[in-house]
């Protein structure tokens, strides 16, 4: 989908066009779900957060000033939804809020998953978007609202950490 096509869909969705909303959701669903999963490490929570992010986005579509910025705007919504859920959970459990909003898994699922989950959040997100979503670096930088050089550096650092962590793993 080109930037102009996306801009047209956003404008149509603003006027209540259900087909346009479905097209936007279909395009962005894998990315939003991937970001939620990368931030939480929990598939069920990622599904809930994905749905929540789209509901919030479509409810607030009138506030989006530049339809060309729909992707980064949607990424902010999902990242904020994750942070909000984390803060709520922390308040309910009476824990301090400075803990990272990523639930550390039990090791042993697989060496690759364990290594990926140990990456710092920005590296994890950039690697997820680049490797699992196959997005170009320019798009990743735009979605993460960072420079292309920073996105590239985070991708290189994340992949290097993964290689180091997995260097002892035998391929069967």
In CATH, 108-172 is 3.40.50.300: no
Return the CATH fold of 1-103.
Answer: Rna Polymerase Sigma Factor; Chain: A (1.10.1740)
pLDDT per residue as tens digits for the range 79-101: 999 999 888 888 888 765 544 44
Q: First and final CA of the chain: distance in angstroms?
A: 39
pLDDT, the chain, mean: 87
Nearest residue to 141 (alpha-carbon basis) of 152, 157, 128, 132: 152
pLDDT of residue 100: 47
Is the CB of residue 62 less than 8 Å from the CB of residue 166? no
Query: Does the pTM of the predicted model rise above 0.85?
Result: no
| Burial of 137 from C-beta contacts in 10 A (0-12 / 13-18 / 19+) | middle
Delimit the domains of the chain by residue range.
1-103, 108-172
Residues 27-77: pLDDT tens digits?
Answer: 999 999 988 988 887 889 999 999 999 999 999 999 999 998 999 999 999
Equal fold, 1-103 vs 108-172: no
d(CA 34, CA 140): 13
Contact 36, 76 (CB under 8 A): no
Rounded to whole angstroms, the Cα distance separating 147 from 161 reads: 21
Q: Per-residue pLDDT for 124 more than 60?
A: yes
Q: How many CB atoms lie within 10 A of CB 11?
A: 13
Cβ atoms of 49 and 81 closer than 8 Å: yes
Reported as a single tens digit per residue, the pLDDT across 17-30 is: 999 999 999 999 99
Q: Which tokens sit at 38?
A: 């990368």
Query: Tokens at residue 97, please?
Result: 């809020």
């Amino acid at each position: 989908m080109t930037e102009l096509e996306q801009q047209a869909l956003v404008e149509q969705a603003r006027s209540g066009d259900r087909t346009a909303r479905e097209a936007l959701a279909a395009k962005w669903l894998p990315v939003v779900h991937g970001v939620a999963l990368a931030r939480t490490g929990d598939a069920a929570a990622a599904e809930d957060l994905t749905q929540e992010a789209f509901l919030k986005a479509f409810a607030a579509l009138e506030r989006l000033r530049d339809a060309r910025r729909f992707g980064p705007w949607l990424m902010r919504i999902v990242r904020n939804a994750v942070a909000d859920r984390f803060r709520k959970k922390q308040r309910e459990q009476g824990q301090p809020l400075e803990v990272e909003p990523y639930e550390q898994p039990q090791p042993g699922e697989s060496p690759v998953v364990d290594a990926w989950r140990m990456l710092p959040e920005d590296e994890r997100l950039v690697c997820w978007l680049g490797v699992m979503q196959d997005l170009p670096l320019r798009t990743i930088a735009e979605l993460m609202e960072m420079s292309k050089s920073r996105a590239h550096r985070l991708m290189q650092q994340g992949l290097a950490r993964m290689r180091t962590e997995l260097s002892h793993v035998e391929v069967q």
